[in-house]
Amino acid sequence: MKSALKVIALTMAAALPLAALAQPQKAPAPAPAPAAAAAGNAKHGLQVFLTVGCYQCHGTMGHGGQGPNLARLKLPPAAFQALVRRPAGNMPAFSENTLPSADLTDVYAYLQSIPPPLEHRPAILND
C-alpha cells in the first residue's frame, strides 16, 4: 500500500511541471519590425556573408582562411560594425553603400550562430 501511495505521489510530482507547461500561453507578441530586430536574422546574414564576399577570406563557415576565424566572435556588435567599416590591416573596408548596417547586423547574427571550429583537430590535418 505504502509503495502505491509513493507511486501516486511521484506521478503527481512529475505531472506538476507539465501542468505548468500546459498553462495557456500569453497572447503572441507582435512581430518585431524587421529593421528593429536587434538580434538580427542569421539566415539572411549568411546570404549577405556569401554575396558581399566575406566568405572569400573568412570561409563559408567563418572558420577562417586568409582572414581569422569569426565564429562566435567575441567583439561586441558596435566594435564589429566599426571594424568592418574601417579595418586595420589587410581587410578591405565595406561602406554603408555596399553593406548596409541592417545587413551587417544580420551577418553578426550569422557569425554568432556558427559553432566554433574544432579545438582538437586530428593530428593528420596539422601538417
Contact residues for ligand HEC (CB under 6 A)?
52-54, 56-58, 66-68, 70, 73, 75, 80, 83-84, 87-92, 94, 99, 107
* CB 126 to ligand HEC: min, Å: 22
* CB 99 to ligand HEC: min, Å: 6
Whether 81 contacts 104, CB under 8 Å: yes
* CB 39 to ligand HEC: min, Å: 17
